[in-house]
Amino acid sequence: MTITLHYEDAVEDAAEGAVAVLHLGDDENRFSPDFLDELDGRLDEVVAAEAAALVTTAGTKFYTNGLDLAWLQDHGERTAWYVGRVQRLLARMLTLPIPTAAAVVGHAFGAGAMLALAHDFRVMRGDRGFFCLPEVDIRIPFSAGMAALIQAKLTPQAAVAAMTTGHRFGGEEALAFGIVDATAADGAVTSTAVERVRPLAGKDQGTLGAIKQTMFATAVTALVG
């Protein structure tokens, strides 16, 4: 597992003012504790470098499959800690003080779909891959924080369709429901996401962060207290 980071538009390798692109990996990119720690560390780097914006992307089959259910099965006594750890990451992405976009190049399931929703914008491959919240079918009710995040980002119609049915939305259907902001062809998802945030370069981190904290105060409180 390695989360890689590079900068688009960097001048003489300087990150300041460039678009940071975080590649989550080429497997299912499940949220193991090590994955969460590594992603948090990369976000620290991006913010400290004063990057203009952030795009997260991944391999071609999965964006991320979310919770590491195998780890949870082996560490059931740490379930409350683990869910809290995931929710802190979601709250951080929701309020990151730079423009963010998720390049959903493949499947985004469960908490992985929530991570995509925690970005400001989402671009999804139009012809392959699903956005899905399968909790109703795997008998895992949403936590209050996760429900608040989803409802903060989706219309009531889309939230009901996504949360209560377990439906697998392809790219074009996700676009029609307003779950994603755009679709793109294979090989163009990440570049389209970069183009979505590039014009937003130069936003003041303090101001943008404060705006997001106010916009999503209810969801953040539900996620982290």
In the prediction, which pLDDT does 10 show? 61
Based on DSSP, count helices (H) and strands (E) in the chain, helices before strands: 11, 10
- Plot region of 25 (φ>0 → left; ψ -120 to 50 → alpha; else → beta): left
Looking only at the bridges linking them, the beta strands covering 107-109 and 4-8 are unpaired
Give me 222's structure tokens: 């539900």
Residue 83: both structure tokens together = 């869910």
Tokens of 85: 């750890």
Structural domain boundaries, residue 32: 4-224
Give the per-residue pLDDT at 1: 57
CATH number of domain containing 196: 3.90.226.10
Amino acid 12: pLDDT: 55
Q: What is the number of domains present in the chain? A: 1
pLDDT at 154: 98
pLDDT of residue 17: 80
Segments of the chain with pLDDT less than 70: 1, 10-15
Q: What is the pLDDT of residue 141?
A: 96
* pLDDT single digits (tens) 165-219: 999 999 999 999 999 999 999 999 999 999 999 999 889 999 999 999 999 999 9
